[in-house]
Structures are given as C-alpha cells and as structure tokens.
Amino acid sequence: MFTRTCLFATLALSLALFVGCDNKTQAERDSLLQQNRDLKSQMDAQKAELEAKERELAAARSSVTTTPAGGGATTPGMTDVPPVETTATDPTLKGEAGVTFGKNKAGETQIELASDVFFDPGKATLKPSAKKALDRVAALIKKNYAGQSLRIEGHTDPTPVGKSGWKDNYALGAGRATAVMNYLASQGVAKSSMHIVSKAATEPKSKTDNSKNRRVEIIVVKNGK
C-alpha cells in the first residue's frame, strides 16, 4: 500500500513538472510570436513612411517644368525662377566666398548664400567660418535696407534627406533659412522685418549641378510684401 501511494505521488509530481514546463514553453512561444508581430508592425510603418516620402519627392519633381525658348525651371502658376544677376556687385560683400549680390528677374534686390559654404551636408547649423560673411551681410542690410521687409528662402536639391534627422527637404530648407534669420537678428537686423519660406527643391537653378540648387536667398521684398 505504501509503495503504491509513493508511486502515485511520484507520478503526480512528474505530471505537475511536465505541465509546468509545457506552460513555460507556451508562454515563451507566445512572447516570441508577440515580438514578431511587433517587429512586423514597425516594418510596415517604416515602409509606409518611406513610400509617403517617395511620393512627396515624386510630386515635387513632377511640379518642376521647363519653359520653352531657353527659360529657367518653373513651377505651375509661376514665372521663370528669378536667378541672381551676377553682374551686380556691392563693395560690402566683395570677395566673400559663397555670396552673390544682385537683382532677380522680379527686380528685387537679392543676396544669395551658397549652402555648401554656410552649412555642412544635411545640417542647418551655420559653420563658424560662414559667420564673418553674414556679419557683412547684416551690415549691408542695416545700412541700405533698414526697415524694409526681407524674405529669407531656403532651397535644397532633390536628394532625399535620409538619416539626417529632417522630415523632408522642406524642413531642411526651413531650418537653414531660420538659422540665417536668427543670426542676422543677433547682428542687429530687426527680426520683425524678416520672414522665412522653404522652397525645398521646387525652384532649382541648375539641372546638372546640385551645388547651385542648395542655397539660401535673402530678398528685399518689393512694396514690403
């Protein structure tokens, strides 16, 4: 009788251990399945975000057309993209690398800053070496255009921003325009007279040289508009 009781006890213990192990295995399996579902959801979300950015880039590219008779690149409803007339100069800015002064086709005074000179790739923080040039730009604005409205435009090339941390090229263009505006304000240009616009890659200057497309333009607005 005692032997039989011991046998039953041993069998019961073995069964409990077996059930416990089986439950543990099932819990681990459920955990792995949940992790797999979570990873799949993350991948689906990243894929959807990438596809949205690709569609946005394609839309930006398709919005750029070429005018006949040698016209510049334009966007629907706009005239030719106003380039800076390189024949116009100003003694204050003479010799500054990456800075072009002149008038655009709309007749507005425009100071163009080459982004490759003023910013590192994918960044919107001014290079220390670029601040000297902006000091001279600020001096020119305060001397000749005090009280006039300034439009600061950020332009990029169409290359996707990738892992730079920016949502898209519109955000990058806005970040660079903002950096220029804030620095000019720190040098005494009235911040209330300035506003920023990001054009991203919608108004390219060149089809073959993206370095010309990466720029920030400071425009003295006609009639204060």
Give the pLDDT mean for 61-72.
Answer: 38
Could you give the 3-state DSSP secondary structure of residue 156?
Answer: coil
Residue 17 CA to chain centroid, in angstroms?
A: 59
Contact 109, 145 (CB under 8 A): yes
Can you give 155-198 as a three-state secondary structure string?
Answer: ECCCCCCCCCCCCCHHHHHHHHHHHHHHHHHHCCCCHHHEEEEE
Backbone angles phi, psi at 103, to 5 degrees: -125, 140
- What is the Cα Rg of the chain in Å? 31
- Under the banding of pLDDT at 50, 70 and 90, the label for residue 36 is confident
The rounded distance, in Å, linking the Cα atoms of 217 and 225 is: 16
| % of the chain exceeding 70 in pLDDT | 69
- Between helix 169-186 and helix 131-144 the angle, nearest 10°, is 70
Cα separation of 117 and 217, whole Å? Answer: 13
What was the pLDDT predicted at 66? 34
Residue 74's pLDDT band (boundaries 50, 70, 90)? very low
Determine the average pLDDT of the residues in 210-220. 95
Structure token digits, residue 114: 């080459």
pLDDT digits (tens, 9 = 90+) for 106-135: 899 999 999 999 999 999 999 998 999 999
Examine the pLDDT at 99 and tell me if it is beyond 70. Answer: yes
| Residue 172: pLDDT band with limits 50, 70, 90 | very high
